[in-house]
Chains A and B, each alone.
With several copies, the nearest count.
Chain A
Amino acid sequence: MNGFDKVVGSYEEALSGLVDGMTVLAGGFGLCGIPEGLIAEIRRMGVRGLTVVSNNCGVDGFGLGVLLEDRQISKVVASYVGENKLFEQQLLSGQIEVDLTPQGTLAEKMRAGGAGIPAFFTATGYGTPVGEGKEVRHFNGRPYILEEAITGDFAIVKAWKADRYGNAIYRHTAQNFNPLAATAGRITVMEVEHIVEPGELDPAHIHTPGIYVDRLIQGSFEKRIEQRTVRAG
């Protein structure tokens, strides 16, 4: 044990300090690569008024969708929220606010937040509702809009393997937004399938260096599939 050992003993400890009104960045794309146990713990804690930044907001009854059931979320920053009837109801009734953000801009905003870049220009969204009210500037004759970084009080992410220092590897496309959210949380909590000893992972294979990870917990995952598409074997 030493100061770099990020492993915590319980979900309570993993999310200690998360209170009403905070901003939570969540990794995952659809239901792929989501921190299932951490989401369950947020539900159990009953914290409310959360701003959730995540590409999607889960589905009814799974993923971040479960936090809608108890009305724990007051605002969602996402690129696509179409998989969730409860979300739809709460949006239409004004119980929840949504800030729709292009997927690439959302990813870049989180990366910028973690990288100390407060704002950047992008062509994405120029001339669309996304660009309204944002500064426009031309570079090489092309118009771009200014987008600001996103950071969170907490980031909750899911990795495949991590060593005790938090050096983490994602599996297949379950990587998605996880490494980005991991960099941009004031406190980053990572839930993994396997915790290994430092030295077991090749330094060149690390996707998220441990410096970004504050707390690490081993979870078990249902890994629900949204669109099971197969071909004849």
Chain B
Amino acid sequence: MALSREQMARRAALELKDGDYVNLGIGIPTLVANYVPDGIRVMLQSENGLLGMGPFPTEDQVDADMINAGKQTVTAATGAAIFDSAESFAMIRGGHVDVTILGAFEVSVRGDIASWMVPGKLVKGMGGAMDLVAAARNILVIMTHADKSGASKLLDDCTLPLTGAGCIRKVLTDLAYLEIEDGAFHLRERAPGVSVEEIVSRTAGRLVVPAEVPEMRFS
């Protein structure tokens, strides 16, 4: 059975190591913060200029001057630092953020990612996504394996305008965990109850299936 949003977040959280500085995109990636394993501490970077994002404020802590990159009111964690947007992206662009987790519309076998623009629909902007994908050493894309019409989002070539070229190595979908190497998706794990056949049928891009594909674990 396809993973729920919470299961995807839980599996993604296993990618985190103690001491990682992490940038989480909006949507499912944001949920990852709720599933960080015991004994692991991560520090969240918010690209508007906050390293060490804390939980949402209580009603009496709400402060218009303290927001995250999603423009939500937040708090600062103990040991946080606050800085301007050039410094924030210097940190990102310079490769200092250990892990970036973000969503996408499409990913290709070459590691291209499309996540910001659907021609014909209004273009709202890329925000910090292009900077993040161009910079992070370790990026995890979380997205559904196929779109609502059933079309695969794992492609030989992205059909939508790119957010970044050749920068993605790991993809977590509601069906599988895959790594991108040598121009192909490599199936590493399958969601519990999801067959390899189903994953194959829903993957349009070149897919390498090893002899054994373990079922995904969540802890």
Interface residues of A (CB under 8 A from B): 2-4, 29-33, 55, 78-82, 88, 91-92, 98, 100, 102-108, 110-111, 113-117, 122-130, 160, 163-165, 167, 170-180, 183, 198-199, 203-204, 206-207, 209-212, 223-233
| Chain B, residue nearest A132 (CB) | B161
Kindly identify, within residues 137 to 193 of chain B, every residue whose CB is under 8 Å from any CB belonging to chain A.
161-166
Q: Once the chains bind, are A124 and B135 in contact (CB under 8 Å)? A: yes
Nearest CB on B from A142, distance (A): 10
Question: Quick check: is B210 within 8 A (CB to CB) of the other chain?
Answer: no
With A126-B134, A227-B72, A230-B59 known to touch, is A165 a contact of B79 (CB < 8 Å)?
A: yes
Q: Once the chains bind, are A81 and B125 in contact (CB under 8 Å)? A: yes
Q: Once the chains bind, are B76 and A79 in contact (CB under 8 Å)? A: no
Please report the C-alpha to C-alpha distance between residue A28 and residue B93 in the assembled complex, in whole angstroms: 21
Q: Once the chains bind, are A211 and B47 in contact (CB under 8 Å)? A: no
Among the 9-residue stretches B6-14, B99-107, B116-124, B197-205, the one with 4 or more Cβ atoms under 8 Å from chain A is B116-124
Given contacts A81-B124, A175-B84, 5 further A-B contacts (CB under 8 A): A3-B17, A82-B124, A104-B131, A227-B71, A231-B55
| Chain B, residue nearest A91 (CB) | B122
| Chain A, residue nearest B67 (CB) | A32
Q: Once the chains bind, are A4 and B131 in contact (CB under 8 Å)? A: no
Q: Which residues of A contact B84 (CB under 8 A)?
A: 107, 170, 175-180, 207
Kindly identify, within residues 37 to 95 of chain B, every residue whose CB is under 8 Å from any CB belonging to chain A.
40-41, 43, 45-52, 55-68, 70-74, 76, 78-95
Q: Which residues of A contact B161 (CB under 8 A)?
A: 128-129
Interface residues of B (CB under 8 A from A): 17-21, 40-41, 43, 45-52, 55-68, 70-74, 76, 78-97, 112, 117, 122-131, 134-135, 161-166
| Chain B, residue nearest A225 (CB) | B64
Q: Which residues of A contact B129 (CB under 8 A)?
A: 102
Please report the C-alpha to C-alpha distance between residue A67 and residue B208 in the assembled complex, in whole angstroms: 54
Q: Which residues of A contact B68 (CB under 8 A)?
A: 173
Q: Once the chains bind, are A225 and B62 in contact (CB under 8 Å)? A: yes
Q: Once the chains bind, are B51 and A4 in contact (CB under 8 Å)? A: no
| Chain A, residue nearest B47 (CB) | A103
With A127-B164, A176-B85 known to touch, is A102 a contact of B79 (CB < 8 Å)?
A: no
Q: Once the chains bind, are A2 and B18 in contact (CB under 8 Å)? A: yes
Q: Which residues of A contact B81 (CB under 8 A)?
A: 167, 203, 206, 209-210
Nearest CB on A from B22, distance (A): 11
Q: Which residues of B contact A173 (CB under 8 A)?
A: 46, 48-50, 65-68, 82
Nearest CB on B from A94, distance (A): 14
Q: Once the chains bind, are B135 and A116 in contact (CB under 8 Å)? A: yes
Please report the C-alpha to C-alpha distance between residue A220 and residue B17 in the assembled complex, in whole angstroms: 33
Q: Which residues of B contact A172 (CB under 8 A)?
A: 63, 65-66, 76, 82
CB < 8 Å neighbour of B93 from A123, A128, A176 = A123
CB < 8 Å neighbour of B73 from A106, A115, A230, A233 = A230
Nearest CB on A from B138, distance (A): 14
Q: Which residues of A contact B162 (CB under 8 A)?
A: 127-129
Q: Which residues of B contact A204 (CB under 8 A)?
A: 82
Nearest CB on A from B34, distance (A): 12
Q: Once the chains bind, are A107 and B89 in contact (CB under 8 Å)? A: yes
* Interchain residue pairs A-B with the least CB separation, the first 6: A3-B19, A127-B165, A104-B89, A82-B124, A198-B79, A233-B58
Q: Once the chains bind, are B78 and A198 in contact (CB under 8 Å)? A: yes
Q: Once the chains bind, are A209 and B48 in contact (CB under 8 Å)? A: no
With A209-B91, A212-B96 known to touch, is A102 a contact of B131 (CB < 8 Å)?
A: yes
Nearest CB on A from B10, distance (A): 20
Q: Which residues of B contact A29 (CB under 8 A)?
A: 48-49, 67, 71, 85
Q: Which residues of A contact B88 (CB under 8 A)?
A: 104, 107
Please report the C-alpha to C-alpha distance between residue A29 and residue B88 in the assembled complex, in whole angstroms: 13
- Give me 29 A-to-B residue pairs in the complex whose CB atoms sit less than 8 angstroms apart, sorted by A's number: A4-B19, A29-B48, A29-B49, A55-B85, A79-B126, A91-B122, A104-B128, A104-B135, A114-B90, A115-B89, A115-B93, A116-B135, A122-B134, A124-B135, A129-B162, A165-B79, A171-B65, A173-B65, A173-B82, A174-B65, A175-B83, A183-B96, A198-B79, A210-B79, A211-B43, A225-B73, A227-B70, A227-B72, A230-B57
